[in-house]
């Protein structure tokens, strides 16, 4: 009986995922233990950090580029004003009767008349005294006659104490004179720097507000974009609490496939749980009768108690084998990696059955590269049952053919026996039904084949063999891609 207890324990582990030695589950109403998945960080935080970093890079890069453009534009406008004044000076310059330079009209800027006003001009020539504006008073602009400014030359200088000047200068020769005169216009950079500072403050404030606005927008977008995931979490919590049986509600197109797969998984688990409960009930019902026979025989003190125990124990073992095979197939059918090569399985079954029935001739034929969507052990069990039945009930010849048809792998097992009447071909799949009681067996073989094949979305059917005249069993299983 120790083997029987071991098989019962294995069946319970297959059906419920735990052995008899494992602790019982927590009763309803008591705190349930929870196992939390290790977190790799917040998706929202990742999205915010990436978006914030990218926004900062773009704003800083764009701000620097825009600052250069605007500063260059403001400085160019400032220099153009100096160039305008410089041209006005050259057009207004002429020589007096002593050969000295003079202006026939004053420049229209009051600052040139005010001392230390920040706006200055000066005309100088080699061998002649410099001719300055009144705003220079007793100061003079530096005149480097070592280079010839045939074009306008603009530069910054600190020639005057406490002032940073922007100076534009150009050389020209007046009519009636051979002297190269240098015309200079200077203006304090304070005005230009103030404009640049104001521009930069406005630019920084604008970009800061823009960055904050974009980050807030990204935060809102992240919150709103991940809202369906929070809804899915709430629906899963309701599902776990037993308040619903599936994830309900309309979902965005990106989340809907995940919800559909989740609902399919829930339905799959529900089906497995229902099948486990049904199998457990069927097993209990199947074992009840043999155990009652053993108990009655023991209570009555029957002399053939040992034979009765052995006979009923065999029956219980076949029942347990049947339910273990079905439970194993149920547990594996959800795996997308279930693949088995058909031809090696056929060869292995042929060798095993040939040793059991040495007087039976077994021939095999068909495609050798077929792969079915089934576990190898389950495929061996299916073929083993079919080929063994053909060898046991046939007339001495068994023919196995493997092929593919409409996306299914087909294995045909034919024998030369008496066959099965068409009226009994459906009933023979019921558990315990045997048409030939003269040979040992419990009538579970074809029932196991049908149940396991259906678990893998396959079929098994009985037909008449045209070549051998006996029974033809057609096993169809999904072909693995």
What's the pLDDT tens digit per position in 243-272? 888 888 888 888 888 888 888 888 878 877
Of 66-80, 155-169, 190-204, 451-465, least confident by mean pLDDT is 451-465
Domain that holds residue 339: 335-478
pLDDT, one tens digit per residue, over 354-394 is 998 999 999 999 999 999 988 888 898 889 889 998 898 88
Other Cβ atoms within 10 Å of 97 Cβ, number = 6
Q: Is 37 helix (H, G, I), strand (E, B) or coil?
A: coil
Please tell me whether residues 313 and 345 are part of one structural domain. no
Please tell me whether residues 148 and 249 are part of one structural domain. no
- Going by pLDDT thresholds of 50, 70 and 90, the confidence category of residue 327 is low
DSSP type of residue 104: S
Please tell me whether residues 411 and 459 are part of one structural domain. yes
Mean pLDDT of 279-294: 73
What's the confidence (pLDDT) of residue 81? 92
Other Cβ atoms within 10 Å of 342 Cβ, number = 28
Which CATH number fits the domain that encloses residue 141? 3.30.450
Assess whether pLDDT exceeds 60 at residue 28. no
Please tell me whether residues 300 and 353 are part of one structural domain. no
What's the confidence (pLDDT) of residue 162? 84
Domain boundary among 258, 288, 322: 322
Domain boundary among 322, 352, 367: 322
Domain boundary among 174, 195, 216: 195
Please state, in angstroms and as integers, the Cα–Cα distance from residue 404 to each residue in 59, 371, 409, 411, 461, following that order.
63, 10, 4, 9, 16
Please tell me whether residues 347 and 295 are part of one structural domain. no
Please tell me whether residues 339 and 316 are part of one structural domain. no
Q: Is residue 206 part of a domain?
A: no
Q: Is residue 222 part of a domain?
A: no
Please tell me whether residues 317 and 339 are part of one structural domain. no
Please tell me whether residues 399 and 272 are part of one structural domain. no
CA neighbor of 410 nearest in space, from 328, 323, 346: 346
Please tell me whether residues 395 and 364 are part of one structural domain. yes
Side-chain-facing half-sphere of 129: CA atoms under 13 Å:
5
Number of H helices, E strands in the chain: 9, 14
Q: How many domains does the chain have?
A: 3
* Residues whose CB falls within 8 Å of the CB of residue 330, separated by 6 or more in sequence, listed in order: 272, 275, 276, 455
What's the confidence (pLDDT) of residue 443? 39
H/E run at residue 298: helix 256-300
* Residue 335, Ramachandran bin (φ over 0: left; ψ between -120 and 50: alpha; else beta): beta
Q: Tokens 């019962």 map to which residue?
A: 8
Please tell me whether residues 293 and 367 are part of one structural domain. no
Whole-angstrom distance, CA of residue 242 vs CA of residue 250 = 20
For 36-49, letters b (16+ CB in 10 Å) and e give eeeeeeeeeeebbe
CA neighbor of 171 nearest in space, from 194, 200, 209, 144: 144
Please tell me whether residues 352 and 291 are part of one structural domain. no
Which CATH number fits the domain that encloses residue 452? 3.30.565.10
pLDDT, one tens digit per residue, over 398-432 is 999 999 998 899 999 999 888 777 766 676 665 44
Q: Is residue 36 part of a domain?
A: no
Assess whether pLDDT exceeds 60 at residue 31. no
Assess whether pLDDT exceeds 80 at residue 289. no
Of 184-188, 327-331, 459-463, the range with the highest mean pLDDT is: 184-188
Q: Is residue 361 part of a domain?
A: yes
What's the confidence (pLDDT) of residue 147? 73
135 φ/ψ angles, rounded to the nearest 5 degrees: -70, -20
Other Cβ atoms within 10 Å of 4 Cβ, number = 13
Please state, in angstroms and as integers, the Cα–Cα distance from residue 112 to each residue in 118, 130, 166, following that order.
8, 16, 15
173 φ/ψ angles, rounded to the nearest 5 degrees: -110, 120
Assess whether pLDDT exceeds 60 at residue 336. no
What's the confidence (pLDDT) of residue 245? 82
> Which has more confidence, 17 or 183?
183
Mean pLDDT, the chain, whole residue set: 81
Please tell me whether residues 310 and 349 are part of one structural domain. no
Mean pLDDT of 46-59: 92
Distance spanning both ends of the chain, measured CA to CA: 44
Whole-angstrom distance, CA of residue 323 vs CA of residue 258 = 33
């Amino acid at each position: 009986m120790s083997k029987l207890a071991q098989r019962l324990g294995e069946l319970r582990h297959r059906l419920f995922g735990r052995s008899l030695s494992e602790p019982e589950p927590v009763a309803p109403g008591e705190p349930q233990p929870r196992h939390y998945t290790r977190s790799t960080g917040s998706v929202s935080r990742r999205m915010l950090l990436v978006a914030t970093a990218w926004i900062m890079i773009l704003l800083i890069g764009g701000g620097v580029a825009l600052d250069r453009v605007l500063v260059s534009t403001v400085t160019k406008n400032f220099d153009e004003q100096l160039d305008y004044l410089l041209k006005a000076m050259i057009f207004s310059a002429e020589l007096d009767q002593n050969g000295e330079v003079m202006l026939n009209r004053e420049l229209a800027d009051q600052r040139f008349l005010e001392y230390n006003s920040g706006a200055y001009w000066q005309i100088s020539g080699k061998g002649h005294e410099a001719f300055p504006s009144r705003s220079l008073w007793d100061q003079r602009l530096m005149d480097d006659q070592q280079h010839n400014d045939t074009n306008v030359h603009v530069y910054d200088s600190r020639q005057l104490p406490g002032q940073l000047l922007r100076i534009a200068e150009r050389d020209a020769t007046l009519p009636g004179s051979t002297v190269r005169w240098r015309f200079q216009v200077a203006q304090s950079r304070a005005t230009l720097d103030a404009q640049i500072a104001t521009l930069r403050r406005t630019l920084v404030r604008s970009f800061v507000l823009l960055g904050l606005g974009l980050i807030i927008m990204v935060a809102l977008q992240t919150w709103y974009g991940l809202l369906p995931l929070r809804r899915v979490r709430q629906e899963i919590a309701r599902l776990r609490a037993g308040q619903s049986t599936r994830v309900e509600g309309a979902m965005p197109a990106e989340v809907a496939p995940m919800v559909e797969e989740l609902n399919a998984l829930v339905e799959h688990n529900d089906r497995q749980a229902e099948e486990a409960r049904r199998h457990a009930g069927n097993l209990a019902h199947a074992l009840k009768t043999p155990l009652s026979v053993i108990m009655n025989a023991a209570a009555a003190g029957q002399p053939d108690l040992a034979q009765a125990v052995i006979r009923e124990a065999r029956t219980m073992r076949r029942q347990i084998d049947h339910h273990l095979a079905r439970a194993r197939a149920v547990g594996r059918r959800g795996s997308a990696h279930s693949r088995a090569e058909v031809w090696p399985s056929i060869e292995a079954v042929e060798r095993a059955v040939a040793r059991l029935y040495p007087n039976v001739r077994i021939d095999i034929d068909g495609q050798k590269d077929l792969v079915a969507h089934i576990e190898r052990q389950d495929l061996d069990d299916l073929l083993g049952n079919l080929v063994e039945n053909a060898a046991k009930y046939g007339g001495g010849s068994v023919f196995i053919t493997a092929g593919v048809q409409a996306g299914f792998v087909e294995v045909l097992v034919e024998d030369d026996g008496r066959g099965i009447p068409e009226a009994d071909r459906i009933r023979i799949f019921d558990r315990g039904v045997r048409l030939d009681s003269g040979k040992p067996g419990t009538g579970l073989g074809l029932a196991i084949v049908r149940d396991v094949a259906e678990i893998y979305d396959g079929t098994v059917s009985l037909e008449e063999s045209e070549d051998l005249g006996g029974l033809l069993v057609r096993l169809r299983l999904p072909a693995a891609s």
